[in-house]
Structure 1
Amino acid sequence: MYSTTQHQSPETVVTVSSLGKAYKIYNSKRDRAKQLIFQNRRKYFQEHWALRNISFDLRRGESIGIVGKNGSGKSTLLQLICGTLKPSQGEVIVNGKIAALLELGSGFNPEFSGRENVYLNASILGLNKQEIQERLDDILAFADIGNYVDQPVRTYSSGMVVRLAFSVIAHVDADILIVDEALSVGDAYFTQKCMRFIQRFQEKGSLLFVSHDANAILSLCNRALLINQGELKRVGKPKEVIEDYTRDLQKRNLADQNNKINRPERMKEQENTAHMKRQSGVQYTQKNIENEIMKWSDYRCKLINSSNLANTIVITRFDETLTTRETYGGEKAEITNVELENIETNKTIQNIKGGEIVRLRLKFEARTAIGRPIIGFILKNSKGLTILGDNTNNSISENNDFNAFEGDKVTTDFVFTVPMLQQGEYMISVSVADGCITEHEILHWMNDALLLRSQCTSIAAGLAGVPMHSISIEIEK
């Protein structure tokens, strides 16, 4: 059942209760005809549940991201919420006006011009003719498709269709905005324009957002839903849900890729890497590394870190039970230790300051022979957004291609400059894989191995600051 009744909390704009959608699958046209004749007395079809027993609330001002692999039921859920599909079970209660960007071109008549489709869609979304005329210039300016606005939509590229569709929903004063992956086909400039609009919209409205872009979910959403095979698997913080989703994907990939690493592709990549080393003619000695360190030194570092503007970062190890829960793999290789060390004393450190140089030391033990290990790490903020990361496959050295045999204990060091970090919590996740960058098997992945708490910062803007070599001002009169 779908309704727009007000019989719900004023702070709840969408209530989804035990929602499900089933489709009838027939083996032949004859079976379909038989079903029409016999109605419910006989059954000539199989039921396929695209969605089943989904329940959640969307609160006023809240943004919920929906993740799941293709075919999991995400788009079906949004269509049920919008009322374009009728549920087979359960109900949806909506308190407010919905504006939705669903499948590419949905709601557009391909034979109508862009201008005519603006009038059509805006009227469906609740605007009268006068209101549409008053906003038409703003809609067309936002879409920025030029003279194509008076051409049939069937002549548009996919990007132009998205531009026009989003421009309409951005100007109809909606209470609830629903976006279903369509922005992925737009160009970078327009996508950023849409993201800025969504961020402004979030100040007063509610958002349901489907995307395969984890960073978009993490940056835009307060909560997230994980849907798998039509069922709601998890509701929670975006970071936790994305990590669950990633873990499930990796487990699925492990099952699919078991002993199927593309050896010819691996050999080709190894040859390319070796060729790159020969062409570069660079031998990465300790002296080279020291020179690179100097290049990455912020000219203000000593002054800033000796003042009350110092970006002090406290390092702690996560509780072992939490780390174990956030880990997957470990049968073929096991990460045994992760530490941040002082590069001069080689001792584990409990605090560091932004702009200083540290060594991230990762140790793992091979439980079986590993053809080509790749060891890597990423630094994420509390929302799960990646700040930086690297792996041994990117090392231009003579040792980045190696084998590990059963029982080998491997130590990997990453020496890098800690960026200036905004105040807040950050996590270091680490992994060991086997293969090449384009095709590999995750052997052990450890989320949140280390916790970094940035207590204060002198950063000017952005998620993190890079070493600044100079800032100069010149005035001419």
Structure 2
Amino acid sequence: MSDALIQIRNLSKIYKLYQTPMDRVKEVISPTKKKYHKKFFALDNVSFEVKRGETVGIIGKNGSGKSTLLKMVAGVLTPSSGSIDVEGKLSALLELGAGFNGDLSGMENIYLNGTLLGYSREYVEKSIPSILDFADIGDFIHQPVKTYSSGMFVRLAFAIAININPEILIVDEALSVGDMRFQQKCYRKIREIKKTGTVLFVSHDTGVLASFCDRIIWLDGGRIFKEGRPDKILDEYQAFMSYDVKEMEAVTVYKSSDIDSEEVEEDMGQSRPQAFGNGDGFFETVRLINQETEKKSSIVAGGDPIYIDFTLKIIRHIDMPILGFTLKDPLGNTVIVTNTHFEKIQLEPLVANQRYHYRFALEFPYLRSGKYSLDIALANGTYQAHEQIQWINDVLIIVVRDPRPYQEGRGYLVPTEITLEKVN
């Protein structure tokens, strides 16, 4: 006897796409049975199973079929072909507010949801104390849910889904709405369900997926692109989602015209770097260069030897120049700060109306896969008292792909070598 609670075989979901509403009518009345639609495969021949006690995360870019898959497992959508076998009590938390009647109170919606999930009124009544305690929304439970905030919505919805003791729990990104404490409360409950049941959920939070999932299924274009353990899939997925060829062509080379020009290449979808300073000089170009190939770099990994290659145009004489760099993560948190003062590099004065070309050589630090931004700055004076000549926020966007296996709690490492050289 199989210990799988969910078995999916050759599952497909096909939608008919019509150019106009009239094409739908034409197809119905056509005497020759002419087709006026195109087929769109939201899911295309997907097969897998989920065992008891297993937590499976579903990842993929928007439109890859994640939500469609969960809705079919939950019974909200019917397959176009293939089969789904589900063994055990199932509870699903899909779209925010799904299954709720906005005009009914929270209490009335508890009974409504219980009925939709197939539970008797008596069973729901026994679960109400634990639902109310978990949701913790006070007297709002007696108010119409249309008056609820999104946070209150997800509190009540998850409290219902989790406290009817399901053997299978399905969650589609809903927990991203709740506050941090409530999320932790939910994850503790999910851990309890994992001991005897099965959890299937969609999330864009790779940290959560790495912590909770035994297996990751990566969907792309309605098909299973890859499947395996989190440490085999997630880093590759992050690099895949971060990397776009056109975008990288736009952000691995900075030119001063990126700020000054009135022309914007809209198809690149890039915000402009922001600069400030006193105008005594400015960065003309900034590039990321691979030391070994001497070519512009698009993706880097920890340990890669790189140059931050840049040219300066000096307007007025700078007696005591300081050059600095700041690397930031996607949330804007500083990962690494360094400058010529820290590195004990003494720069010669910069002469007015001259152009200077420098290369800042370093071994790139080991960072988690993802997208990072680089700030660059030129100042005049001492580290304790200086005037900003030019500081450019997010001058380059760097995609990091860490080739090492995923390690829980892995931290940042500083560069092992930094040198600055003037290029003639």
Name 2:305's counterpart in structure 1.
364
Render the CA deviation track for 1:141-162: whole Å, top value 9, x for unaligned.
1111111111111111111111
Matched-pair contact (CA < 8 Å) for 1:223–1:235 = yes
Paired residue total: 343
Given candidates 14, 24, 42, the residue that maps to 1:32 is: 24
Report the Cα offset of residue 376 of structure 1: 6.8
Q: Which amino acid aligns with 2:401?
A: W
Name 1:255's counterpart in structure 2.
246
For structure 2, the 5+ residue unaligned runs are 260-270, 279-292, 313-322, 348-355, 376-392, 412-424
Render the CA deviation track for 1:206-250: whole Å, top value 9, x for unaligned.
110111111100000000011122221100111221112112113
Separation (CA, whole Å) in 2 of partners of 1:115 and 1:245: 41
Separation (CA, whole Å) in 1 of partners of 2:138 and 2:32: 54
Render the CA deviation track for 1:267-312: whole Å, top value 9, x for unaligned.
635759xxxxxxxxxxxxxxxxxxxxxxxxxxxxxxxxxxxxxxxx
Q: How does 1:400-415 map to 2 (within 5 A)?
A: 410-412=361-363
Given candidates 227, 250, 253, the residue that maps to 2:219 is: 227
Separation (CA, whole Å) in 1 of partners of 2:247 and 2:31: 42
Separation (CA, whole Å) in 2 of partners of 1:80 and 1:202: 21
Q: Which amino acid aligns with 1:134?
A: K
SS state at 2:362 partner: strand
Q: How does 1:41-440 map to 2 (within 5 A)?
A: 41-252=33-244, 254-260=245-251, 263-264=258-259, 268=274, 271=277, 332-333=296-297, 362=303, 364-366=305-307, 391-392=335-336, 394-395=337-338, 398=341, 410-412=361-363, 435-436=374-375, 440=396
Separation (CA, whole Å) in 2 of partners of 1:223 and 1:333: 33
Report the Cα offset of residue 366 of structure 1: 4.5
Matched-pair contact (CA < 8 Å) for 1:20–1:50 = yes
Find out whether 1:448 has 2:399 as its counterpart. no
Separation (CA, whole Å) in 2 of partners of 1:442 and 1:70: 23
Matched-pair contact (CA < 8 Å) for 1:333–1:368 = no
SS state at 1:86 partner: coil
For structure 1, the 5+ residue unaligned runs are 1-8, 273-328, 339-361, 379-388, 415-426, 453-461, 466-477
Report the Cα offset of residue 131 of structure 1: 1.7
Name 2:282's counterpart in structure 1.
none
| Shift in alpha-carbon separation, 1:39–1:197, aligned structure 2, 3 A | farther
Report the Cα offset of residue 180 of structure 1: 0.5
Report the Cα offset of residue 137 of structure 1: 1.7
SS state at 1:166 partner: helix
SS state at 1:87 partner: coil
Report the Cα offset of residue 430 of structure 1: 8.1
SS state at 1:16 partner: strand
Report the Cα offset of residue 127 of structure 1: 2.3
- Normalized per residue, the structure richer in helix is 1
Q: Which amino acid aligns with 1:58?
A: V
Matched-pair contact (CA < 8 Å) for 1:374–1:391 = no
Report the Cα offset of residue 255 of structure 1: 2.5
SS state at 1:105 partner: coil
Name 2:320's counterpart in structure 1.
none
SS state at 2:274 partner: helix
Report the Cα offset of residue 27 of structure 1: 1.4
Report the Cα offset of residue 12 of structure 1: 0.6
Alpha-carbon RMSD: 4.1
Report the Cα offset of residue 330 of structure 1: 10
Render the CA deviation track for 1:11-66: whole Å, top value 9, x for unaligned.
11111112111111111121122223239812111111111121111011000011
Separation (CA, whole Å) in 2 of partners of 1:210 and 1:432: 22
TM-score by length of 2: 0.69
TM-score by length of 1: 0.62
Separation (CA, whole Å) in 2 of partners of 1:396 and 1:104: 47
Separation (CA, whole Å) in 1 of partners of 2:28 and 2:324: 60
Render the CA deviation track for 1:435-462: whole Å, top value 9, x for unaligned.
447574436634229x99xxxxxxxxx9
SS state at 1:130 partner: helix
Q: Which amino acid aligns with 2:296?
A: K
Matched-pair contact (CA < 8 Å) for 1:377–1:431 = no
Matched-pair contact (CA < 8 Å) for 1:21–1:51 = yes
SS state at 1:174 partner: coil
| Shift in alpha-carbon separation, 1:337–1:209, aligned structure 2, 3 A | closer
Render the CA deviation track for 1:91-121: whole Å, top value 9, x for unaligned.
1111111111001111111121111110011
SS state at 1:15 partner: strand
